[in-house]
Amino acid sequence: MQKNLFKRTKLACYTAYFTMSSVFCLPPLLFVTFYETYGISWALLGTLVLTNFCTQLGIDLLFTAFSKKFNVALIVKIMPLITSLGLLIYALSPFIFTEKYVFAGLLVGTVIFSVAAGLSEVLLSPTIAAIPSDNPQRDMSRLHSLFAFGVFTVVIIGTLFVKFVGAKYWMYLTMLLALLPVCSAVLFMLSPMPDMNSAESGAKPPKSRRKTLGIALCVACIFLGSCAENVMSSWISSYMETELKMDKALGDVLGVAGFAILLGCTRILYSKWGKSIGKVLLFGMLGATLCYLLVGLSSNVIPAFIACILTGVFTSMLWPGSLILMEENVSGVGVTAYALMAAGGDLGASFAPQLMGIVADCAGLQTGMLICSIFPLLGTLLLLFALRFFKKHPEAHSERT
């Protein structure tokens, strides 16, 4: 009965995570338009990306320190509306500000929808985890798969819109995407929220050193997994255009969207038949290492292209799988632990692509891909240690109703 009670709540979480993808992948698709139409420099456009991730990281850290001070249920319900507000301000920037100051509107909009994105990462996973379920791993994997499918959808719609309607009308595409989170907000308003009291124990610092180390290992895993995923997702379009000499639209569809669809499909497959998350994570780290090495060392276009796309398969479970690893091996985790995990993931998502950009400026994109193979390689070594640690020091699992 309890499971049926929260069906709509679960659907609201899924739709919110799906619509959050527009926050991440729409702005980069419009950077060339902003550069050519408003004369915004590449450095300032890069600042928008940095602002996005730094804002999210700030939200993660805020909830890590002060999770008890917030009404989690209320924030979850209004969170999609914050996304809509940010996207709307982003879209209206050319109308609110003069052409000379459009960047100011883009920056304000970025900060607002980045707050919502940070809240989504911190709160949607523990909300799903708190909903009674026969298979919590399936629910968590399905939640994160919807982000990948959202990226795929936005990339396809955005690419087609720019090609057939025109890049100069980008603000109407953004307004359309701003309407989608409203659907999630309505679902949340009409849905009961799960009892988060069981998760509140996680807001207290772990009493045992083993619990502390267990959480730290999971945070390190999600950091390295996020590095492996986001280097490729952030740079695959540029790599295919510059190194593989592909047309940009074709590169975005086959590269960015192809990567995203494999990411999402693999997560869906795990949600249906997956088990043994430790082995899945180890397989993912090893596979991602091989893909980055192939991309970085190959002089042949076809193997490099295939390796880029397959990275989506191998990195698919590194973020949600790290959350599952924590849930299975550390008892009493709550909002604070999830906030720490989100902080680790966001730090990886900002640090690794930035490092890739620095290396690419100095030695080229292919060398950057080769250097970034260090992240999944270190992740493999870390996982071997973590799995041995959890096997030696098993923790009581959190009880579910």
Query: 9 in a domain, yes or no?
Result: yes
Residue numbers of the domain that contains 149: 2-391
Query: 117 in a domain, yes or no?
Result: yes
Query: 254 in a domain, yes or no?
Result: yes
Over its length of 401 residues, how does the chain's per-residue pLDDT go in tens digits? 455 678 889 999 999 988 888 887 888 778 778 888 888 887 787 778 778 888 988 888 888 777 677 788 889 999 999 999 999 999 999 998 877 789 999 999 999 999 999 898 888 888 888 888 877 778 888 888 888 888 888 888 888 888 889 888 999 999 999 998 999 999 999 988 887 644 444 444 445 677 888 999 999 999 999 999 989 988 887 788 788 888 767 777 788 888 988 998 999 898 888 788 999 999 999 999 999 999 999 888 899 999 999 999 999 999 999 999 998 888 777 778 888 898 899 889 888 887 888 888 888 889 999 999 999 999 999 999 999 999 887 754 444 43
Q: How far is CA 176 from CA 19, 90, 146, 170, in A?
A: 11, 12, 19, 10
Query: 372 in a domain, yes or no?
Result: yes
Query: 401 in a domain, yes or no?
Result: no
pTM of the predicted model as reported, rounded to 2 decimal places = 0.77
Query: 248 in a domain, yes or no?
Result: yes
- Structurally, how many domains does the chain consist of? 1
Query: 399 in a domain, yes or no?
Result: no
Query: 396 in a domain, yes or no?
Result: no
CATH of the domain at 103: 1.20.1250.20
